Amino acid sequence: MKILANDGISNEGKAALEAAGFTVITDKVEQADLISAVNEQHIEVVLVRSATTVRKEVIDSCPGLKLIGRGGVGMDNIDVDYAREKGITVINTPASSSQSVAELVMGMMFAGARSLHHSFANMKTGDFSALKKRYAKGTELRGKTLVIIGFGRIGQSLAAYAIGCGMKVIAVSNEVHTVKVSLGTLQGLGEVAVDIETVADLRSVIGEADVISLHVPKQANGAAVLNAAEFDLMKKGVHIINAARGGVVNETDLLAAIASGKVAFAGLDVFENEPNPRADLLNNEAIATTPHVGAATGEAQDRIGLELANLIITQFGAQVTA
């Protein structure tokens, strides 16, 4: 059985699949050539991350396709329901990148608190006498309130880090329930966990936030979670982090909130128009940007590759080779 890992796969994942008898192809196929490549090379499994899309036209045009795998959490680049209606198995790896994304968000939170994104860039002037005054008004994360919108695996991982920093965490979810969040094994204490009760009404807590981080999928109707109405309810000087999906924050409304002083800092790893975000986001001094790399750590990619391999081997079994 041939597998096209079109957006790459870790060496560990590839080795596991090949050891089980699968043929793994990692040569990148351009989106326009995907249908012909799948059919001509008799590929039965396509693995993607965020760069490649597998829409209805691909599914209809590739009758030999048996499985589509997404290395990561969100599957908005795959027509999941349609594929499953056609009898194609669709898998993803929701647990493998949680820690990596959470750590990127923490990095953005520290960058916003201490203007690190500016300082790193401007120290090249060689004279920091003026910079020292400019960056002398940083803040601490300890004691601040973090509102996490979306409390799945990534949101819970972020909560653990934030609690470790001494932050108050408010978790927003579709339903009110209690989540036990593990803080890990601490020296002399063993496994430590805290219970967090989620809230369902974002607007009831949004005004308490010093920092807001989003961890929700792209909304079914394409609507943003944070629009002008939500920004109006926030306290002045709030920080916004989006490492979830482009479009869950209305970018035009975000820029307006920055211009008014309502939002003091934004950290964006995802954008409405990827891979070419609008220039006024990239050039805004209040915004730190990264190129959709939340899950892009070596450790996460190893976990993702192995999880995909294990799911495929479980689905199809080891392949008999001549």
Would you please indicate which residues are annotated as catalytic (active-site) residues?
Answer: 245, 274, 292
Q: Distance between CA atoms of 74 and 68, rounded to whole angstroms?
A: 13
Q: How far apart, in whole angstroms, are the C-alpha atoms of residue 248 and residue 77?
A: 15
* CA nearest neighbour of 272 among 259, 282, 262, 283: 282
Query: Quick check: 308 and 67 in contact, CB under 8 A?
Result: no
By the 10 Å C-beta count (0-12 exposed, 13-18 middle, 19+ buried), 192 is classed as middle
Q: Of 148, 155, 139, 150, which is closest to residue 265 (Cα–Cα)?
A: 139
Q: Compute the distance between CA of residue 6 and CA of residue 69 in angstroms, rounded to an integer.
A: 10
Sequence letter at residue 52? T
Residue 105: helix, strand or coil by DSSP? Answer: helix
Burial environment of residue 165 by CB neighbours within 10 A (0 to 12, 13 to 18, 19 or more): middle
Cβ neighbours, 10 Å, residue 275: 9
Partners of 230 in beta bridges = none
For residue 150 the two structure tokens come to 């979306």
SS3 181: strand
Distance of CA 176 to the CA centre of its chain: 23
For residue 275, whether the previous peptide bond is cis, meaning omega lies within 30 degrees of 0, is: yes
